[in-house]
């Protein structure tokens, strides 16, 4: 099955009520006007390997330690 994205969107739109079709249209218009922000990856390559391995290990350990726990009283 080699259906294009446009064809798939059209098929999905056909199944939606008109009010949802309008929402999709408005969203598409907003996306079309939006600009890509950020820094291209090529410009970031100069930073590759700039963090010392020991620091990376400390970061990895902190992430593993803190991200694997849930504090049910946090909220």
pLDDT computed for residue 64 by the predictor: 85
- 8-59, pLDDT tens digit by residue? 999 999 999 999 999 999 999 999 999 888 999 999 999 999 999 999 999 9
Task: Look up residue 50 and give its DSSP letter.
Answer: -
pLDDT computed for residue 66 by the predictor: 72
In a domain, 26, yes or no: yes
Model confidence at 1, pLDDT cuts 50, 70, 90, reads low
In a domain, 40, yes or no: no
In a domain, 68, yes or no: no
CA pair distance 19, 67, nearest whole angstrom: 41
CA pair distance 24, 16, nearest whole angstrom: 10
**Which is higher by pLDDT, 74 or 57?**
57
In a domain, 13, yes or no: yes
Q: Give the range of the structural domain holding residue 23, as residue numbers without chain letter.
A: 1-34
Name the one residue in this structure whose structure tokens are 């009283």: 73
Q: How many residues does the chain have?
A: 75
pLDDT computed for residue 68 by the predictor: 66
Nearest by Cα to 21 from 9, 33, 30, 3 = 9
In a domain, 24, yes or no: yes
């Amino acid at each position: 099955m080699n259906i294009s994205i446009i064809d798939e969107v059209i098929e999905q739109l056909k199944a939606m009520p008109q009010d949802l079709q309008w929402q999709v249209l408005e969203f598409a218009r907003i996306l079309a006007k939006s600009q890509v922000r950020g820094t291209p990856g090529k410009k970031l390559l100069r930073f590759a390997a700039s963090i010392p391995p020991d620091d990376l290990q400390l970061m990895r350990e902190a992430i593993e330690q803190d991200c694997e726990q849930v504090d049910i009283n946090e909220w």
